[in-house]
Amino acid sequence: MAYNKLRIIELVSYVILIFGTLGDHLSTAIGLQNPMYYETNQFTVVLMSKQLWLSFDLLLIVLGVIIPYKLLRMRKDLFKEVLAFPLILGIARLSGCLINLSLIYM
C-alpha cells in the first residue's frame, strides 16, 4: 500500500510540472498576442528572440521528469528531496500560468 501511495505522489509531481510548464508557456504566448502586453522576464525574452523558448521549456520538462525518475530508482531514501524539484518548479510555473490567465481575461 505504501509503495502505491509513493508512486501516486511521484506521478502527481510530474503532472504538476508538465501542466505548469505547458500552461505557463501557452498562456504567455496567448497573452503576447495582445499588443498591450509584454514579457517582463528577460531570460524568456532572450530565449524568444533566439527561437529557443519552446525548446527550453520542453527540455525543462524532460529533465524535470527523467532525472528524478532515475534517481528514485537508484535511491529510494531520497524520495522527498528528489521530488521537491519537479513539484516546486511545477507549482511556480502553474502560478505563472494563473497570473497570465488573470491578465488575459481581465
End-to-end CA distance of the chain: 45
The per-residue pLDDT for 81 is 86
Could you give the percent of the chain with pLDDT greater than 70?
97
Grouping H, G, I as helix, E, B as strand and the rest as coil, residue 12 is: helix
Mean pLDDT across 80-97? 93
Least confident of 3-7, 15-19, 49-53: 3-7
| Spatial separation of the C-alpha atoms in residues 101 and 88, rounded to whole Å | 20
Q: Nearest-CA neighbor of 87 among 27, 7, 17, 9?
A: 17
pLDDT of 68 strictly over 70? yes
> Could you count the other beta carbons within 10 Å of the beta carbon of residue 21?
24
The per-residue pLDDT for 2 is 66
Mean pLDDT across 59-70? 95
